[in-house]
Amino acid sequence: MAKINPVKLKQDAEKEERSGRFEKAIELLKQLVQENPRDWNTINRIGDLYVKLNNVKAANEQYARVAEFYSKDGFYLKAIAVWKKINKNDPTQFDAYLNLADLYAKQGLLVEAKGQFQIVIDEYVKRNKIREAGEALRRLAEIDPADLKVRIRLAELYSREGRGEKAAEEYVAIADELVKKGHLAEALQVLDKGRKIAPPTRASRPKSAGCISSRRTTRGRCSTSRRPAGPPLPTGMSRFGWRKRTWAPGAPARPTLSSRSSCSPTPATRKPGCSSAASP
């Protein structure tokens, strides 16, 4: 088999395209791709020619090959541009929205990513495809775990689908996030929802269960440990403006009220029985 001349083939394909013979141009370009399957520019061009023939399905098949290559090799912006072409050709194709959402998330564009996921989720719900909607919601929750509205919606979808254990797990995770933000009352309400759906188990016990039950927080965060209490405050000390402070183990004991009020630092005025080491 004679070796092809890539330059001549491209020139011939351009002539055919200018003459409006798009099918002939595609045949010539496919010979180039057969020789070099990683010629992504030529594959993309074949897709463009299929669009001119109003063959959207064939065009998107070519574009998808290019977009997947760009994604795998880390060329996210190029991949986004190609998936946008697919989305423009066929707005009903969910793969385009989902891939765009993932790529936007990798680029740190959370608003754009969430917008793409939301389109898919709404469409799945309209079609009563609850499992598919739940999967899209799960992926949306992964890219933005702090969006508790999304996670609550995911738990509700799990419940509607009859997956009570998954719903309960999600409610427990939401409760933990609420506790981190200092919203203990809301955390308790969410936990109650989870318990009504599925009985609590050791595995489903929230990490912050102790904090929720005792309602202990420190500066809005869960505090599950107690600091050691100091010695009792001597009688009458509060009248002199003393405040009880946290006592650290091993620290010297605080001076008593009598040592401060009846002993003088000056020998001449010190009362009998006072130690010379008494502190002022």
pLDDT value of residue 165? 86
Q: Is residue 174 part of a domain?
A: no
Q: Is residue 61 part of a domain?
A: yes
Q: Is residue 36 part of a domain?
A: yes
Residue with the bigger pLDDT between 227 and 111: it is 111
Q: Is residue 44 part of a domain?
A: yes
Residue 195: name the closest of 167, 175, 168 by CA. Answer: 168
Number of domains in the chain: 1
Kindly report, residue by residue over 234-248, the tens digit of the pLDDT: 444 333 343 444 444
pLDDT of 50 strictly over 50: yes
Q: Is residue 73 part of a domain?
A: yes
Q: Is residue 98 part of a domain?
A: no
pLDDT value of residue 187? 86
**Residue 43's CATH number:** 1.25.40.10
Q: Is residue 14 part of a domain?
A: yes
Domain of residue 76: give its range: 1-89
Q: Which of 69-78, 151-160, 161-170, 263-272 tops mean pLDDT?
A: 69-78
Kindly report, residue by residue over 64-119, the tens digit of the pLDDT: 999 999 999 999 999 999 999 999 999 998 899 999 999 999 999 999 999 999 99
Q: Is residue 27 part of a domain?
A: yes
pLDDT of 219 strictly over 70: no
